[in-house]
Amino acid sequence: MIMLKVPYAEKDEAKALGARWNKDSKLWYVPDGVDVAPFQRWVLKGVAPSPAAARPSGAPAGRVDSYVGKQVVGARYVALEHGCNPFEACVECAPKLAASGWEDARAEVLRIVGGFTT
């Protein structure tokens, strides 16, 4: 069993490839006997499968000593190198935002929201 770190936005893709969710370790994994090649971008290095993953169904849960957090990233997420507000003009971030398609997505949201009245 190989443990995976799959971003929430990509969970459906991983599931379609055959990955399974382990609710005890809160991680996706590749079951034994499934080809690992399609999952290489998500392989979590240095994490062994938890004993709870091999536990028979209905057995009592053991103690969890650590938690591997997952970063949730949306389709239009852009990591900025400094504490900039992307809704305000910034000379340093403008090229990166323009290249990512973020500005087009923002304009679409503003167009949709602009039609609503409160």
More confident residue, 92 or 49: 92
What pLDDT was estimated at residue 72? 53
pLDDT in tens, 73-113: 566 666 777 777 767 778 888 888 788 877 787 888 888 88
Q: If DSSP states are collapsed to H, E and C, what string results for the chain?
A: CEEECCCHHHHHHHHHHCCEEECCCCEEEECCCCCCHHHHHHECCCCCCCHHHHCCCCCCCCCCCCCCCCCCCCCCCCCCCCCCCCCCCCCCCHHHHHHHCHHHHHHHHHHHHHCCCC
Percent of all residues in the chain with a pLDDT value above 70, rounded to a whole number: 66
More confident residue, 75 or 51: 75
